[in-house]
Amino acid sequence: MIRPVTIEDAQQLVDIYNYYVINSIVTLDLVPFSKGDFEVKIEEISTKFPFIVYEVDNEIVGYAYANTFRTKPAYKNTVELTVYIKHSQLGKQLGKKLYSELLLLLKNKNFHVVIGGLTLPNDASVKLHENFGFEKVAHFKEVGYKFEKWHDVGFWQLTF
């Protein structure tokens, strides 16, 4: 079931996210988050943008949300997307289901441009974005440093 996030989801979301902080370059965050950090994130984001979770048998297996792309007022119709799937649930098309719902919500709220920022290489995320019609519009070389290595970041854009 896909549903809106609630503050009670914070612990499950932080558990999903911190796996990637500790074990991968999918996020360039270096320090794990606390439950409180995610409670603040949920409150700040869900009041302005869609923030949804995918739940199976009362367990959250993934989440996705839109957030501010840039803070200047002229960017108000552009958002940046985020999606995370519980690492044990990868390969089950959950990201596709979450993105389908999130993009529909954003289109219905009259957002104009959606941006996905990806640490590279990340074939699964590139494929996910391109399957929804996102086009690669930027590639920044060696802008993130994690696990004793420099990483590139690419940006994909979808215009409604």
Instruction: Spell out the domains of the chain, with CATH numbers in brackets.
Output: 2-159 (3.40.630.30)
- Among residues 142, 143, 137, 139, which one has the least CA distance to residue 157? 137
pTM of full prediction above 0.75: yes
Cα-trace Rg, the chain: 15
CB-based contact 120:155 (threshold 8 Å)? no
Q: What is the pLDDT of residue 111?
A: 97
Q: Give the pairing type, strands 113-120 and 135-146.
A: unpaired
What one-letter code names the amino acid at 80? E
Tens digits of residue pLDDT in 33-55: 999 999 999 999 999 999 999 99
Tens digits of residue pLDDT in 114-138: 999 999 999 999 999 999 999 999 9
Q: What is the pLDDT of residue 68?
A: 97
Q: Indicate the pLDDT class of residue 9, thresholds 50, 70 and 90.
A: very high
Q: Indicate the pLDDT class of residue 60, thresholds 50, 70 and 90.
A: very high
Sheet holding 51-56, edge to edge: 2-4, 51-56, 59-68, 78-85, 113-120, 149-159, 135-146
Q: What is the mean pLDDT of the chain?
A: 97
